[in-house]
């Protein structure tokens, strides 16, 4: 028989929270890049700059670096779950 699963450690727990915090901003950036790269047009620099900055800022807040109301929180104290 297999031993019982170990409880997740603090690093694993923090990574799960980070994933939840970034999901909306990451999805918005991914949709923008996919839309900009679709078809025959080439992807141009800074096409998705606003979405990238939102994702970068969300990540910085989620790990506790950068301005904002606190770790994992977006503008107005909201989590970075929904695209701007």
Q: Report domain extents, the chain.
A: 16-77
Instruction: Output the pLDDT for position 26.
Output: 92
pLDDT of residue 67: 56
- Determine the pLDDT at residue 77: 46
Averages of pLDDT over runs of 10 residues in the chain (84 residues) are 77 79 90 88 88 91 66 50 45
pLDDT score recorded for residue 84: 40
Closest alpha carbon to 29 in 64, 7, 53? 53
Predicted pLDDT at 68: 54
Angular region, 38: left φ>0, alpha ψ -120 to 50, beta rest: beta
Report the 10 Å Cβ neighbour count for 62.
Answer: 25
Tell me 80's DSSP state.
Answer: T
What pLDDT score does 80 carry?
64
Q: Report the distance separating Cα 79 and Cα 33, nearest Å.
A: 22
């Amino acid at each position: 028989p297999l031993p019982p699963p170990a409880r997740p450690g603090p690093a694993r727990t923090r990574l799960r929270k980070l994933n939840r915090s970034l999901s909306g901003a990451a999805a918005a950036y991914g949709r923008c890049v996919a839309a900009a790269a679709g078809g025959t047009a080439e992807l141009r620099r800074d096409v998705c700059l606003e979405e990238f900055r939102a994702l970068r800022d969300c990540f910085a807040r989620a790990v506790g670096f950068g301005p904002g109301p606190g770790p994992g929180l977006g503008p107005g104290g909201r989590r970075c779950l929904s695209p701007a």
